Chain A
Amino acid sequence: MISAAQLRARVGAFTLDDISFDVPSGAYGVVIGPTGSGKTTLLEVISGLVPQTGGTLALNGRDATRESPDARGIGLVYQLGFLFPHLSVEQNVMYGATDAAFAASIARRFGVHDFYSRSVNSLSGGERQLVALARALARKPELLLLDEPFSALDPPRRAAARREVRAIHRELGLTTLHVTHDFAEAGSLGDIAILLDGGRVLQSGEPADVFRHPKTPYVAEFLGAENVFAGGVMHEGGEAVFRSGPLAMHVAGSAVSGPCHAIIRAEEILISRATPAPSSARNHFSGPVRDIATVGPLWHVTIDVGGVPLVAALTTYSADELALAVGDTAYFTFKATAVHLC
C-alpha cells in the first residue's frame, strides 16, 4: 500500500505540492502527466531519494516519511534504466538479489537471460529497460515503482513486457505505481489513475471513472477528450439543456445549472449518412464533413455545426462502410448521458 498525504518536495525550482492519493495493497496505480509534471520526482520522493519537505508517506501501513531508501523495500525502474555500466548484465540483475534462483527466473521471464554475457554498453534502449525491470524485480520488492519502463521497447516486446509485469504484479501481490504519459497504457494497466500536472494532483480514481468524468475541462482535454464546450445549463420545461453558441444539447440529471463545461467523448457519438431512425438518443446534429483523420486504430470525423466543430470516432471497418468524404453531410447522434458536465 502506498498512501501519500499532503506530500511536498522541492528539486531546484520545481515543487511537488500537496500530493495526496492511495494505492491499496496489491493494486496497480498509474500516474499520468505531461513531461515536466513531476512524475519522476514523485517516484523519487516515494523511494526516499528526494527528501520530503512536508506531509506524510505510509508504505504497507508503516510510516516511511523518514525511512532511508534501502529500508523501504522498493524496486525503482527509471525510463533510461540506469544500469551500472561497470558491471555485466548478470551482475546488474543480481545486484540486490537475495534469492539467486528467483532472480534467474525473473531474468528468464523478461528474456534478459539471453544477453547475460553482453556488455551493458552494447544494449539497445529497450534491452536496458528489460534489464532494469529484471534488476528491480529480482530483489523481490514489496513495492514496484516504474517510470515509463516500456517506452524504448518495440510494440511486440512492449506488449510482452507489460503482460509479464502484470503477471508478476498479481503473483507477488506487488503494489505498483507506474508512471506514463500514455492514457491508453494507463487504461489497460491501472486499477487507479492519478493525474499529475505542474506538481499537483489534478484528479485520481478508477481509470474508467476519471476517463468518463473528468473534473475539469483541462483534465478532459489532457485525457484526449475531443469535444469540450464552454456554456451553461438551463432547465427548460423540466428538461436540462446545455447551450454553447449554436449548440443546444440535452443532458442528464438536474444537479448542474448555470455556467459549466460539457464534454462528449468522440467514441460516444454515432455517425450516419441519412437522418437516423427515432431512438432513445436525445441529441441529433448534422453538418458538412470538414475533416477525416486517422487516430491510432480509429478514424475521427469532424462536422461543422453552425461554425462549431464536433468530432466523432469510428473504426476503420465502419469508415469503409460509410465511405464518407469531406463535404458530405453526416448525422451525429448521442444520448443525454454521454454529455459529461463539469
Chain B
Amino acid sequence: MLAAVASSLLLLFLVLPVVRLVAAAGPDGAARLWSDAELRQSLALTAMTATAATLIAAVCGAPLAWLLARRAFRGRALVAAVLDLPLLIPHPVAGIALLLLLGRGSALGSSLLSLGLRIVGTPLGIIAAMLFVSAPLFVSGAREAFARVDARLEGVARTLGDTPWRAFRRVTLPLAARGLIASGVVSWARAVSEFGAIVILAYNPKVVSVLAYDRFTGFGLSEALPVAAALVLLSLIPLTALRALRIDDGAAGV
C-alpha cells in the first residue's frame, strides 16, 4: 500500500509539470509554429543537428559497441569507463572542456579553422556538444543489442561459408537492428534535450532549448512557455517511436 502511494506520487511528480506545461501552452506553441519563424528555424536546426550527431554516433559507435560486446581485449574495462565519463560530467563542464579543445585558441580549433571548419558558434559546435553527451548512450544501448545476439549464431553462419563481415551483415545486424534503432532514438532524444554543453559552445544559432532559455531570460515566462511546449512536442516523436519498437518486440529464440 505504502509502495503504491510512493510510486504514484513519484509518477505524478514526473508527469504533472509536463502535462501542466502542454496544457498551458501546447495550443499556443503549435500555433506559433506558423507565426514564429525563429521557433520554426530553431526546431529545424535542433532536429537536423540531433540527427547528424546521432548518425555520427551510430557510424563510429556501432563498431565500438560490437567490440565491447564480442571481444575480450586488454583495456576493455578502461574503454567502458571512458564511455561513462560524459554521462557523469555536469554538462556545462562538458561544454567548457569542448570549448577548450575546439575553441580558436586551441591547436585543434585553429587547425580546423584553417581548413574552414569553425566549431564555436556554428551548427558544427552544436553537433559536437550533442555528440559528446549522446554518443555514450548509443554505444551502451548498441552494446546490449549486440550482446543479446548469441555469438553461436554468428559461429554457425561462419561454418556455412560466411566471412566475418558477411555473418555480421546477414545475422548479427538484422537481429540487433531493433536494439540499434532504439539506441539511436534514445541518443537523438538526448541530443534534442541538451542545453548545458550547447549553450557554452554555440549559443547561436539557437537550438530550441537555448531559445526557450533566451526567451525566458529576455522576455519572461509567458514568452518561454510556447517554445518549451514545442520542445516537449518534438520530444514526443522519439517517445512514440520507442513505444512502437517495444510493442513489436517479439521474443527472438534460437
Q: Report whether B158 and A121 are in contact in the complex, using a CB–CB cutoff of 8 Å.
A: no
Q: Which residues of B contact A80 (CB under 8 A)?
A: 254
Residue on A nearest B253 in the bound complex, by CB: A121
Q: Which residues of B contact A44 (CB under 8 A)?
A: 155
Query: Interface residue count for B (Cβ, 8 Å)?
Result: 20
Q: Report whether A69 and B152 are in contact in the complex, using a CB–CB cutoff of 8 Å.
A: no
Residue on A nearest B159 in the bound complex, by CB: A76
B99 to nearest A CB, angstroms? 45
List B145-203 residues whose CB lies under 8 Å from chain A. Answer: 150, 152-153, 155-163, 171, 174-175
Partner of B250, one of A70, A75, A84, A121: A121
Q: Report whether B252 and A95 are in contact in the complex, using a CB–CB cutoff of 8 Å.
A: no
B248 to nearest A CB, angstroms? 13
B251 to nearest A CB, angstroms? 7
Residue on B nearest A44 in the bound complex, by CB: B155
Q: Which residues of B contact A149 (CB under 8 A)?
A: none
B119 to nearest A CB, angstroms? 41
Q: Report whether B152 and A85 are in contact in the complex, using a CB–CB cutoff of 8 Å.
A: no
Interface string of A134-161 (1 = CB under 8 A from B): 0110010000000000000000000000
List A79-109 residues whose CB lies under 8 Å from chain B. Answer: 80-86, 95-96
Q: Which residues of B contact A121 (CB under 8 A)?
A: 250-253
B12 to nearest A CB, angstroms? 40
Query: Interface residue count for A (Cβ, 8 Å)?
Result: 27
Q: Report whether A47 and B159 are in contact in the complex, using a CB–CB cutoff of 8 Å.
A: yes
Q: Which residues of B contact A72 (CB under 8 A)?
A: 159
Q: Report whether A49 and B252 are in contact in the complex, using a CB–CB cutoff of 8 Å.
A: no
Q: A75 to B252, alpha carbons, bound, how many Å?
A: 23
Q: Which residues of A contact B152 (CB under 8 A)?
A: 49, 78, 82
Q: Report whether A82 and B158 are in contact in the complex, using a CB–CB cutoff of 8 Å.
A: no
Q: Which residues of A contact B254 (CB under 8 A)?
A: 80-83, 85, 128
Chain A interface residues (CB < 8 Å from chain B):
44, 47-49, 68-70, 72, 74-76, 78, 80-86, 95-96, 120-121, 128, 135-136, 139
Kindly list 16 other residue pairs between chains A and B, CB separation below 8 angstroms, not including A49-B158, A49-B159, A96-B159.
Answer: A47-B159, A70-B161, A82-B153, A82-B254, A84-B153, A84-B156, A84-B175, A86-B171, A95-B157, A95-B160, A96-B160, A96-B162, A121-B250, A135-B160, A136-B159, A136-B160
